[in-house]
Amino acid sequence: MDTLIQDKLEKEFQEKIDKDIKIEPNDWMPESYRKTLIRQISQHAHSEIVGMLPEGNWITRAPSLRRKAVLLAKVQDEAGHGLYLYSATETLGVSREDTIDDLHAGKVKYSSIFNYPTLTWADIGAIGWLVDGAAIMNQVPLCRTSYGPYARAMVKICKEESFHQRQGYEIISNLMKGTEEQKAMAQDAVNRFWWPSLMMFGPSDADSKHTEQSIRWRIKRHTNDELRQMFVDATVPQAELIGLTLPDPALAWNESRGHYDFGDIDWDEFWQVVGGNGPCNKERIEARIKAKKDGEWVREAALAYAKKHQTN
Ligand code: FAQ
């Protein structure tokens, strides 16, 4: 394309973004904006789908019928989130099949948090409270992201994530009202999930390669560190209220900043997990590949039925 025309289109595109006018699938967009969205939305979709696995692990062992029904509903919600997000990715011109194959081939990322195991029932509480809590902090601003289909998907997702966060906090609060063993189990889960939850927000701003451009395009509305701080500030009082200790001796209210100070994140652990060397990375991808294979006959049957219907 002529550079003058390209410059004009880019200028008009940025003006739309600056006025908070949503970009829709058929609008002109720079190729790098489209690629950034495909990367972020598909990774987000994969996170929702892979995120079903750690919690799915406890559906058969939930401690009561009520807990089982709630957990089933939550895990099904995550599947729905994945599907809206795969649909949003498709509006950018990529196929769902290819996107999922990239996940199975280990070519693309999904959230680091889902590579940690769920060892006890209290982990389900910790995930709901901390992981969904962190997800909401990150995702509520995404309801105002500049790409229309992503923003609209996020509105419904955030409503469901709020219910997930509350059910997690309810589980963990009830355990904290229980026996010494139950309290210890809740504390142990929080000890294991606290730091990985902080890592969900991504590398520090100094090391985040995409943030600056994504903020300019209003794909992201806050930086990784801003959201992480908001999460810490919201979560510390919730932990105090139910008598849990967060596993960070540096955690302290800083009057002059008006925020909690917190300790250093182990970025080496983060990059190891992102790079495929977390405790459950291999198991998670194998489970997804198996699910695709096991479901093949259903897809074939549905396709054959649809074809037969078309010709009749
Ligand atoms: N894990 O330059 P940045 C959920 C990668 S959904 C793995 O800062 P960006 C619901 C990043 O991709 C949770 N990789 O990147 C649920 C990039 O690599 P690349 C998922 C990570 O995009 C709850 C590189 O590091 N949420 O939990 C992570 O500007 C319970 C450099 O990073 C979303 O996806 C990480 N934690 O900022 C489900 C929200 N962090 O692509 C079940 C949407 C960074 O160049 C149960 N996404 N990386 O190869 C976002 O907001 C952003 O993409 C960030 C990363 C903030 C995640």
**SS3 assignment for 41-56:** HHHHHHHHHHCHHHHH
Residue whose CA lies nearest to ligand 1 atom number 4: 135
Q: What is the position in ligand 1's atom list of the atom closest to the CA of 200?
A: 36
CB of 48 closer than 8 Å to CB of 138? no
The sign one gets for the Cα dihedral 271, 54, 192, 154 is positive
Residues 61-91 have pLDDT tens digits of 999 999 999 999 999 999 999 999 999 999 9
Burial of 105 (0-12, 13-18, 19+ CB in 10 A): exposed
- Ligand 1 centroid, distance to 274 Cα (angstroms): 10
- Ligand 1 centroid, distance to 50 Cα (angstroms): 13
Residue 207 three-state SS? helix
- Ligand 1 centroid, distance to 312 Cα (angstroms): 47
Q: Which two tokens stand for residue 48?
A: 């929702």
Residue whose CA lies nearest to ligand 1 atom number 27: 135
Please say if the pLDDT value at position 118 is more than 80.
Answer: yes
What's the Cα-to-Cα distance from 123 to each of 29, 118, 180, 195, rounded to whole Å? 42, 6, 17, 14
Residue whose CA lies nearest to ligand 1 atom number 55: 202
pLDDT score of 312: 63
pLDDT score of 81: 97
pLDDT score of 232: 98
Q: How far is Cα 134 from Cα 231, in angstroms, rounded to an integer?
A: 6
Residue 249 DSSP symbol:
T
Q: How far is Cα 192 from Cα 124, in angstroms, rounded to an integer?
A: 12
Residues 132-169 have pLDDT tens digits of 999 999 999 999 999 999 999 999 999 999 999 999 99
- Ligand 1 centroid, distance to 47 Cα (angstroms): 8
- Ligand 1 centroid, distance to 43 Cα (angstroms): 7
Give the residue-averaged pLDDT of 179-199: 98
Please say if the pLDDT value at position 311 is more than 90.
Answer: no
Residue whose CA lies nearest to ligand 1 atom number 28: 202
Please say if the pLDDT value at position 113 is more than 80.
Answer: yes
Q: What are phi and psi of 188, to 5 degrees?
A: -65, -40
Q: Which helix (H) or strand (E) holds 35?
A: helix 31-50
Give strand ranges (E) for 62-101.
none
Please say if the pLDDT value at position 2 is more than 90.
Answer: no
Probe target for ligand 1 pocket from 109, 198, 221, with the most ligand atoms within 8 Å of CB: 109
- Ligand 1 centroid, distance to 291 Cα (angstroms): 23
Residues near ligand 1 (Cβ within 6 A): 39-40, 43-44, 47-48, 51, 78, 109, 111-112, 127, 131-132, 135, 138, 199-203, 208-211, 214, 220, 224, 274
As a residue count, the chain comes to: 312
Probe target for ligand 1 pocket from 33, 38, 39, 40, with the most ligand atoms within 8 Å of CB: 40
Q: How far is Cα 33 from Cα 213, in angstroms, rounded to an integer?
A: 9
**For residue 219, which amino acid is it?**
I
- Ligand 1 centroid, distance to 202 Cα (angstroms): 6
- Ligand 1 centroid, distance to 200 Cα (angstroms): 7
